[in-house]
Amino acid sequence: MKVLVAVKRVVDYNVKIRVKSDESGVDLANVKMAMNPFCEIAVEEAVRLKESGAADEIVVVSMGPKACQEQIRTAMALGADRGIQIETDEDLESLAVAKLLAKVVEEEQPGLVILGKQSIDSDNNQTGQMLGAITGMPQGTFASEVNLGEGIVDVTREVDGGLQTLSLKMPAIVTTDLRLNEPRYASLPNIMKAKRKPLDVKTPADYGVDVTPRLKTLKVEAPAQREAGILVSSVDELVEKLKNEAKVI
């Protein structure tokens, strides 16, 4: 079985985000970039499926400027077999990504598509669901456990009321949640081997997909600074401040 994994290049989660002085977006100059944490979980799950013998090939795909090849090579160092980069300098929206992924799915015919449930930059949580709508493939989102059967995949997903288990007929789409697994680190020998693994570079035009943005960002601004809290000496003082100062009761 072939597993297709989508990964995204984002600002490293340890970096403090800065807004550009003209408020047109986030300042990415000289900022450390990394693979989206949810995408790391997706890669790890695909590698575990391969190690268990349930999968025999892992194809990783990423979209963006040439620099995103770094994240593809990282996925290869973790265990992916080959990569596909769809090179574009456009700021891709979720729908454009889903349309491109649908074309890759049509070309590669994977038995399972694994994506992170969301990226930590835009936080849209849309691509997996849109891909399911475009392709008509069954989907299990927010997966905390994945078990493969004969032609089916059982996905335990986190919902408001607890856990829900879905049995999906393959090929299927799974989006990963934080509790699915703990990603491994790439070893130095595997990092060196990843440099020799095949990586195909394509463009949106190769797939016949228009990725022109449909939305326009008017302004980006940092959240307001939070004020320091106040210690109170008694419940009576707390109630008095909530009533007279905060005016919430």
pLDDT tens-digit series, residues 207-241: 999 999 998 889 998 888 888 888 899 999 999 98
Residue 238 forms part of a structural domain: no
Q: Report CA-CA distances (Å) from 65 to 88, 117, 155.
A: 5, 22, 33
pLDDT score for 102: 97
Domain with 91 in it: what CATH number?
3.40.50.620
Residue 24 predicted with pLDDT over 90: no
202 bridge partner residues:
86
- Number of domains making up the chain: 1
- Given the DSSP bridges, would you call strands 139-148 and 172-176 parallel, antiparallel or unpaired? parallel
**pLDDT digit string, tens, across residues 56-91:** 999 999 999 999 999 999 999 999 999 999 999 988
Whole-number pLDDT of residue 223: 85
Where are the alpha helices (H) located in 79-186, listed in sequence order? 94-108, 127-135
Tokens representing residue 192 in the block:
């060196």
Instruction: List the structure tokens of 83.
Output: 């990569």
Q: Which residues contact 246 (CB under 8 A, 6 or more apart)?
A: none
How do beta strands 2-7 and 112-116 pair? parallel
CA atoms of 211 and 94, how far apart (whole Å): 10
pLDDT of residue 225: 84
What average pLDDT does this structure show over 94-118?
Answer: 96
In a domain, 9, yes or no: yes
The answer to the question of residue 80 being in a domain is: yes
Q: Are 42 and 7 in contact (CB under 8 A)?
A: yes
Ramachandran angles phi, psi of 39, nearest 5°:
-70, -35
Report the chain's C-alpha Rg in angstroms: 21
Cβ burial, residue 136 (10 Å; 0-12/13-18/19+):
exposed
35 is a domain residue: yes
Let me know if residue 74 belongs to a domain: yes
Q: Is residue 214 part of a domain?
A: yes
Helix boundaries (H) for the chain: 37-51, 69-78, 94-108, 127-135, 188-194, 235-244
Does residue 25 surpass a pLDDT of 90?
no
Residue span of the structural domain in which 83 resides: 2-222
Residue 22 within any structural domain of the chain: yes
pLDDT at 196: 95
Q: With respect to residue 237, please indicate whether it lies within any of the assigned structural domains.
A: no
